[in-house]
Structure 1
Amino acid sequence: MFKEFKAFAMRGNVVDMAVGIIIGAAFGAIVKSLVDDVIMPPIGLLLGNVDFSNLFIVLKDGAEVAPPYASVAAAQAAGAVTLNYGLFINAVVSFTIVAFAVFLLIRAINKLKAEEPAAPEVTPEDIVLLREIRDALKK
């Protein structure tokens, strides 16, 4: 059983998949930083100094501190139940960037794959013989 598992784990597809998952996780962290630190601050500035990570709705007040809460962290620390739609917007933007990057990657891979020229059709022998007979009758 161990030999079978080792053979399975060392196949090229499994190793390639593992490398892809590791690189994907690292890429996800880069995209998250890009969205949180580079893209969303200027958008928030254009929309009137809005910090998307602190956009939330209080569904139930906290027991420890009364609203208003300055941030999502403050609301959650006070025990409030919040709907964090700003964090959701950040996640949607991150997903869109990752999906677009994957699209570009797949598109580039497909362009690199050389389209194999179609093999010339082989005419069946009976058709060849019929053509020869036809040509002979024309003479």
Structure 2
Amino acid sequence: MIKKFKDFAFKGNMIDLAIGVIIGGAFGKVITSIVNDLIMPLIGLILGKVDFRTLFISLNGEHYDTLDAAKAANAPTLNYGNLLSNFLDFLIIAFVIFMVLEQILRFRKKEEPKPASVKECPECLSEVPIKATRCKYCTSHLEVKEA
């Protein structure tokens, strides 16, 4: 069982996947920092000095001046400011992944179509080899096509 686990865990694809997950996690942290520390403060400044991380709705019907005050009172809150920040994180990460995949697909070598190796019998509509002179199913005569 240990040998099977070693074979599984140390295959090339598994190592590549692990590296991708680690880099993806670090990339996600960078994007989160860009959104929280650069983009959202700029949007908040444009919209009248709003700090999105502190936007919330108290669900118990009482008014709290800050999110910290609501948390200190153990009040249930709907933190829609955090939702906006996380949604912007998602959009940026999705856009970057889309752009990277577009570039990878652009440079990927396109496969050339293979030449046909079979043709269709006009009588019985069966597939027969391209160089065949008779259909192997109905024995009708076929035109020979050079490949």
**Which range, TM-score by smaller chain?**
0.7 to 0.9
1:77 aligns with 2:72: yes
1:21 aligns with 2:3: no
RMSD across aligned positions (CA): 2.1
Aligned residue number for residue 47 of structure 1: 47
Higher relative contact order (CA 8 A, sep 6+): 1
Q: State the alpha-carbon separation in 1 of the partners of residues 107 and 13 from structure 2.
A: 20
> If each structure's helix is expressed as a fraction of its own residues, which one has the higher value?
1
Match of 1:87 among 74, 82, 85: 82
Which string of whole-angstrom CA distances, capped at 9 and with x for unpartnered residues, describes residues 19-46 of structure 1?
Answer: 1110111001001011101111111111
Once the two structures are overlaid, the 10-residue window that deviates more, 115-124 or 30-39, is: 115-124
AA aligned opposite 1:21: V
State the 1:116 CA deviation: 1.7
Runs of 4+ in 1 over 6 A off after TM superposition: none
Q: State the alpha-carbon separation in 1 of the partners of residues 103 and 68 from structure 2.
A: 42
Percent of aligned positions with the same letter in both sequences?
43
The alignment's TM-score, normalised by the length of structure 1, stands at: 0.81
Aligned residue number for residue 116 of structure 1: 111
- Number of aligned residue pairs: 127
Aligned residue number for residue 10 of structure 1: 10
Gaps of at least 5 residues in structure 1 are: 133-139
User: Tell me, what secondary structure is at the counterpart of 1:125?
Assistant: coil
State the 1:127 CA deviation: 5.4
Gaps of at least 5 residues in structure 2 are: 119-129, 135-140
Q: State the alpha-carbon separation in 2 of the partners of residues 4 and 108 from structure 1.
A: 37
AA aligned opposite 2:53: S
User: Tell me, what secondary structure is at the counterpart of 2:132?
Assistant: helix
Which string of whole-angstrom CA distances, capped at 9 and with x for unpartnered residues, describes residues 75-103 of structure 1?
Answer: 21222211100000000000111111111
User: Tell me, what secondary structure is at the counterpart of 1:126?
Assistant: coil
AA aligned opposite 1:125: K
